[in-house]
Every structure is written in C-alpha cells, then in structure tokens.
Amino acid sequence: MSSFIYPLAHCIAGVDEVGRGPLVGAVVTAAVILDPEQPIQGLADSKKLTEKRRLALYDEIKEKALCWSLGRAEPEEIDQLNILHATMLAMQRAVAGLSVRPDMVLIDGNRCPALPMAAQSVVKGDSLVAEISAASILAKVTRDQEMAELDTLFPEYGFAKHKGYPTPYHLEKLALLGATPFHRRSFAPVRRVTDTTPVAGK
C-alpha cells in the first residue's frame, strides 16, 4: 500500500469521513478494523476508484473486515456545532460503534477527535493506510446512496449527480427553488437563499 510506518498496536482501526464540503445532507464517517487473515486487494482512496470498483470493495469490506461501523452528524448538528466539530462527533460515533475495541485509531487528515484510546492523524491517510482506505470507501458509498435517495425526493436539484457539492448547477437550483429541509443552513450559499426565499418541501 505505501511506505507508511504503522504504530505498534495490537488492533488498529482506520477512520475517514465523507461530506464536509457539500451543502446538503449528513457528514458520514466510517471506522474499520481489517482482518489480517482475510486481506482485501485494491484498497485505495475512494475518490480514486471507479464507482463499479468502489461498490465491489464496499461489499468485500463489509464481508471480510473484522468489524466496521458508520457514524454521522446530521445537518442540524452541523449547523449547531460547525462542520469541523460535527465531523469529530461523527468520527467518535463510528469508533464507538465498533464491536471490537481497537487500541489504536488512525484518522485521515490532520486532526483527531477525543477518543478513549490512542489515536494518530495521518495526512493523506486514505492513500497510505489500508484501514483508512476501507473506511473512506464505506463512508463514500453510504453517503452517495443517501444522495441518490434524496434525489428521488427532490429530483429537480440533481443530488445524484453532484452529491450535494456546490456545483454551478446546484447553486443555480438553490437560488431558483430555495433550500430543502436537508440543506445546511449555516453554509453561506444556503444562508443567502434562506434569508430571502421559502423552503422547498415545506
């Protein structure tokens, strides 16, 4: 996978998040402890994989990992706490949900949430650490599926295509239609329209 030097630990969990940048929906996190007896080939940063490969690995990770868990923070929590603190909360929830307690948690990025065990942040960890790659795949597929579901509720916004990120198309529809109940009110493009327009779906 890489030249990353693993810390000395008996049981390592990898944690990653997806959805800090979008204007809509939850921030989704995953924690994964891989089984050394059942290696998974081809783990990589979820953003660098094709959708087909990502979906195949998603199923394989859920089947072969020693354990895995998802965490999340909803739009209301993001608005209340801010996106950084909401992401840390979602990571704590993912780790707390593991059926096996790790003695070391490796977290993608440059910040660690407060956890009841040792933790280390790893910049570009989703490309360097197999456990974090696995977590990034679970989190991304889960959030993408949620955006596809939201797309069926609000087809005019194009959520299945842009996944809630502030693309020109999304910003145009937001300005035209107003915000859905699932938009993050504290994010500037949403705040601008909620100050002036009715909320869609209300």
- The 10s digit of each residue's pLDDT in 29-60 is 999 999 999 999 999 888 899 999 999 999 99
Q: Which residues are known binding-site members for a divalent metal cation?
A: 16-17, 108
Mean pLDDT of the chain: 94
The partner residues of 33 in beta bridges, in order of sequence, read 67
The proportion of the chain whose per-residue pLDDT surpasses 90, expressed as a percent, equals: 90
Which of 74, 71, 55, 72 has its CA nearest to residue 63? 55
Q: What is the pLDDT of residue 195?
A: 78
Residues in the chain: 202
8 vs 58, more confident: 58
* Tokens found for residue 88: 């840390």
- The 10s digit of each residue's pLDDT in 101-132 is 999 999 999 999 999 999 999 999 999 999 99
- The answer to whether the Cα torsion of 21, 27, 32, 38 is positive or negative is negative
Average pLDDT score over residue span 12-41? 97
Q: Are the C-beta atoms of residues 143 and 19 closer than 8 Å to each other?
A: yes
- The 10s digit of each residue's pLDDT in 164-198 is 999 999 999 999 999 999 999 999 999 999 876 55
Which residues make Cβ contacts (< 8 Å) with residue 33, sequence separation at least 6? 11, 12, 13, 14, 65, 66, 67, 68, 98, 100, 102, 131
In order of their start, the domains of the chain are 12-195 (3.30.420.10)
Give the Å distances, CA to CA, from 170 to 39, 165, 179. Answer: 40, 7, 11
Give the Å distances, CA to CA, from 109 to 85, 87, 196. Answer: 14, 12, 36
DSSP-derived pairing of the beta strands 67-73 and 27-33: antiparallel
DSSP per position, 86-150:
HHHHHHHHHHHT-SS--SEEEEESS-----SSEEEEETTHHHH-HHHHHHHHHHHHHHHHHHHHH
* Tokens found for residue 181: 């109940």
156 DSSP assignment: G
Q: Which residues are known binding-site members?
A: 16-17, 108
The distance of Cα 15 from the centroid of its chain, to the nearest Å, equals 9
